[in-house]
Amino acid sequence: MVYYSPAALDRTFAALADPTRRALLARLSESEAVSVSELARPFAMSLPAIMKHLDVLTDAGLVARQKNGRIVSCRLNAGPMQEANEWLNRYQRFWGERLDQLEALLESDAWTPP
């Protein structure tokens, strides 16, 4: 049986709930490391607002930051998303089995529509 950390899953799903944070993660997935100013460039919001989003992503363990002089670089850490994906897959299997059972019932001769 796989055990999940509820607090870590909560932080991961909370971080992924915001479209800006998902967009930041998508940009990070395209590069090894990206500076904060480069990450903020396409967004119509202030640098402090981007930093708050990065704080949430960092707290969830989805982003790692490294400071080199005056430049702060960010890297994607997809590990917490893997745990969330495993949690979701459990329910995908559950619903897949239920829908297969329903399909079998509907295709059987035992069931007649009203």
Do the domain assignments include residue 34? yes
Do the domain assignments include residue 1? no
Q: What is the mean pLDDT of the chain?
A: 87
- The CATH number for 72's domain is 1.10.10.10
Question: Which pLDDT belongs to residue 114?
Answer: 66
**Overall domain count for the chain:** 1
Note whether 22 and 39 are within 8 A (CB): no
Question: Which pLDDT belongs to residue 112?
Answer: 63
Strand ranges of the sheet holding 63-68, from the earlier edge strand across to the other edge: 34-35, 71-76, 63-68
* Residue-range definition of the domain harbouring residue 65: 6-107
Q: How far is CA 9 from CA 4, 40, 44, 95, 106, in A?
A: 7, 26, 29, 21, 37
Do the domain assignments include residue 64? yes
Residue 109 pLDDT > 90, yes or no? no
Do the domain assignments include residue 48? yes
